[in-house]
Amino acid sequence: MNVKKLADLDVAGKRVFIRADLNVPQDEAGNIVEDTRIRASLPSIRYCLERGAAVMVTSHLGRPAEGECRAEDTLAPIAVRLGELLGKPVRLIRDWVEGGFEVRAGEIVLLENCRCNKGEKKDNEELAKKMAALCDIYVNDAFGTAHRAEATTHGIARFAPVACAGMLMGAEIDALTKATENPARPLVAIVGGAKVSTKLTILKTLAQKVDQLIVGGGIANTFLLASGKRIGESLAEPELVKEAQAIMDMMKARGAEVPLPVDVVVADEVSALARANRIPVDEVGPHDRILDVGPKSSAKLAEIIAHAGTIVWNGPVGVFEHNQFAGGTKMMASAIAHSEAFCIAGGGDTLAAIAKFHIAQDIGYISTGGGAFLEFLEGKKLPAIAALEARFAD
């Protein structure tokens, strides 16, 4: 995947426009609850500031209505946090599309919520050209939005004098390419989640590539149904049993496997107070809910992971938020942490599990993208990356 990278460019004295992903969670008072995305954007910003560029940064935040910027849509709290992390003031510029503001070399300004601008989400060409006119170099560092063609992620890349990938975007592209193109074998994919329907495309794509496809959560329950097991009142999608069977058949035809649980943890409700029972999968009763894999299944998954060359991880194997149903995900996380394999992990629940079990430092690469991460793994062309590729030879 050929894209220009920020680290290869001379930015001294240049006007640099960085599209970051600063869409952080806030409480009702607007206070930032968790600032990982802001911290992840710092390397590109610092690189430009230290080399004397005039830096403009923008991002989306929440779901604003185009054409208006309400109090809850403002990037003002992000400007404050960014200033604290950089150790220098960060001015917030409103109504910035037409220009009319000054940015000095070595200075940074934050441009108000880009999704407040009319035409942003529809990738309006006129808007994109106006944005492109503000800069000498456009930097896309927002992998989490790379699957959307919007004015600040796609359109501006077409018209800016130079368009490149930032430090974070470049690292994402490198890690995902390493995991999907000529990966070290065996290639093991872990796909958890509530529904097969939301992950059907990626399951089919991975079934053609991986050596072991570990499924978890409600997805695994649908696969258990397909294999003829009773699952009681567990979350599943009976209407997708044929699809699950087709995926297992596809894997089997390649000499690959979808390892299904031989024992499970069940309860009659999903709650912190629910009593967990470990039973063989063949003993699931009519009112049981499968909420985790059992110890024998966990040990089997750990063994598969121990022999992997590459691991792609998206989703837990149980309701790990409650400790009595966290055993499977915890053992899997521990196996990944101790594995010699290159592991790339992505998705909100996956990141929450990594944080809960304190293994972030043992993961090869943690992706900042949710939907973009999945679409890349599905083999889809991400519009924002395609736009950068198209400008590589310029």
User: Average pLDDT by consecutive 10-residue portion of the chain (394 residues)?
Assistant: 94 98 90 90 98 98 91 95 97 97 97 97 98 98 95 98 97 92 94 87 92 94 96 95 96 94 96 96 97 97 97 95 96 97 92 94 91 88 96 92
- What pLDDT was estimated at residue 67? 87
Enumerate the active-site residues: 37, 195, 348, 371
- What pLDDT was estimated at residue 371? 85
Give start and end residues of each alpha helix (H) in 69-199. Answer: 76-86, 125-132, 156-159, 167-180
Q: Tell me how crowded residue 366 is: count the other CB atoms within 10 A of its CB.
A: 19
Q: Quick one: CA torsion of 247, 248, 252, 255, rounded to 10 degrees?
A: 80
- What pLDDT was estimated at residue 249? 96
Does residue 280 have a cis bond before it (omega within 30 degrees)?
no
- What pLDDT was estimated at residue 236? 94
Residues in the annotated binding site for substrate: 21-23, 37, 60-63, 115, 148
- What pLDDT was estimated at residue 347? 86
pTM equals 0.88
31 φ/ψ angles, rounded to the nearest 5 degrees:
-75, 140
48 φ/ψ angles, rounded to the nearest 5 degrees:
-70, -45
Type of residue at 240 = L
- What pLDDT was estimated at residue 200? 85
Judged by DSSP in three states, 5 sits in: strand
Residues in the annotated binding site: 21-23, 37, 60-63, 115, 148, 199, 321, 347-350
Distance CA 132, CA 152 (A): 9
- What pLDDT was estimated at residue 22? 95
Residues in the annotated binding site for ATP: 199, 321, 347-350
- What pLDDT was estimated at residue 282? 97
